Amino acid sequence: RNWSSRILAHRVSDDQYFQDFGISLAETARQFLRSSATLVGLGQYWSFSLSVDDFQVIDEAVTERQEPYQRLPRILYEVDRPFGASGFGFALDSEAVYFDKPVGVTGARVDLYPRLEWSLDRYWGFTRASAGYRYTAYGLDRKGLPGDESPDRGLPIISLDGGMFFERDQGNGLVQTLEPRLFYLYVPYEDQSELPDFDTSAFTFGYSQLFHSNRYT
Query: Could you read off the pLDDT tens digit of each residue along the chain, which spans 217 residues?
Result: 899 999 999 999 888 888 778 788 877 878 889 999 999 999 999 999 999 999 998 888 888 888 899 999 999 999 999 998 889 999 999 999 999 998 889 999 999 999 999 999 999 999 999 999 999 999 999 888 888 999 999 999 999 999 999 999 988 889 999 999 999 999 999 998 889 999 988 888 888 888 998 888 8
Specify the DSSP class assigned to residue 26: H
Per-residue pLDDT, 62: 85
Q: What is the pLDDT of residue 125?
A: 96
Please state, in angstroms and rounded to a whole number, the distance separating the CA atoms of residues 199 and 5: 23
The beta strands (E) that lie in 45-141 are given as: 46-57, 70-82, 88-100, 106-122, 125-141
Question: What's the full length of the chain, in residues?
Answer: 217
Alpha-helical runs (H) found in the chain: 17-21, 25-28
Q: Are 107 and 140 in contact (CB under 8 A)?
A: yes
Q: Say how far apart CA 111 and CA 213 lie, in whole Å.
A: 16
Residue 208 is predicted with a pLDDT of: 82
Task: Say if pTM beats, i.e. exceeds, 0.85.
Answer: yes
For the segment 126-165, what is each residue's pLDDT rounded down to a tens digit?
999 999 999 999 999 988 888 899 999 999 999 999 999 9
User: Can you say whether the dihedral through the CA atoms of 2, 9, 202, 111 is positive or negative?
Assistant: positive
> What's the rounded Cα separation, in Å, for the pair 10 and 217?
24
Q: Which of 101, 52, 90, 89 is nearest to 73 (CA)?
A: 52
Region class of 44: left (phi > 0), else alpha (psi between -120 and 50), else beta: alpha
